Structures are given as structure tokens and as C-alpha cells.
Structure 1
């Protein structure tokens, strides 16, 4: 996809075992990565679980830029609304560039 000129990739599915950190290391300097928050955490987890999941994604793909946090799969009508809002609010608070320790792309 990178060679085809795609600017962003949204198919990083945690439920399929895709490793965000590995994908960032291989392609993150050439393509924007989108997603990887586990929708099961949003649907069934606690607010603290949601925060940990957002922190995981931001720490794995945020440094150097080129990352947009979102769920790795569709959000169903049954999704825990409070947890979904928690993800958005917490991501807005924690996901501002430059991230702590982020010295930019090499």
C-alpha cells in the first residue's frame, strides 16, 4: 500500500492480532496510521481500562507523528457510550503533539 501512494491506513485491527508498534516501526515514517483501540475495551472495560488502551496506542504509534487514534473496528450500537466518550476526552487530553519524549521523526 505504501508503494501505491496510500497516505493513511486504518485497517490495524487489534482483534486480528495486528501489532501497532511493529507496523509503526516498519511503515510509520511513510504512512499515517489510524486506529488500534480495542473496541472490546470500549464496550466492556472500565474507564481506567479505556485510559490504559489509549495510552498503549499513543505510546506505540504517536511518537514522531503520523498517528490518528480511533477504534480498530466498528463501534456497535450497543457500545458503552460513556467509555466511548472517555476515549475521546482522554485522547484529546493525552494525544497532543509533541508527545512527552517525542523528538520527532528521524
Structure 2
């Protein structure tokens, strides 16, 4: 829990500090919600942006949400992949050892 909380704090802080140097502050805020809260935060952020008349910033929220899924899902599965590969290689090495 502490690791995920620190990740949210660091990620949101970096977005709010670095993005306004390139784009405006509203663009940074539009991307921070979906990064920290997922699909529900995206829906709330997009509704708020539409009410404020900033419909063009909804695409930033959608882009952040999709990129988070694109990179986050494989990274979250690394441990499972490692376990699966270790079972395969341990099994095959045992089979090779027994056959010799």
C-alpha cells in the first residue's frame, strides 16, 4: 500500500511540475486524474472538463488512461511471468537431469 501511494504521489507531482513547462497547467491537471484514479477518475475528469468548456482536454485524459494500461499491465505481470518461467525451467532441468 505504501509503494502504491508513493507511486501516485510521485507520478502526480511529476506531471504537475513538468507538464506546465511544455503545455499549460490545465493540461497537466487533465492528465493527473486518470493517472491516479483510473476509469472512474477519467469519467469524473471528462465530465468536469466538458462542463468547463474544455472538451479538447478530454483527449489528454483518455490518452493518459490508455498509456497507463499499455505499460502498467505488462509491468504488473512480471512476477507472475517470472514464476511461470521458473516452473518451466526447473521442470525441464529436472527432466533433463533424470533422463541423464
**TM bracket, shorter-chain basis:** 0.3 to 0.5
Question: As a proportion of its length, which structure holds more strand?
Answer: 1
- Structure-1-length-normalised TM-score: 0.34
Quick check: which has more Rg, 1 or 2? 2
- Structure-2-length-normalised TM-score: 0.35
Question: As a proportion of its length, which structure holds more helix?
Answer: 2
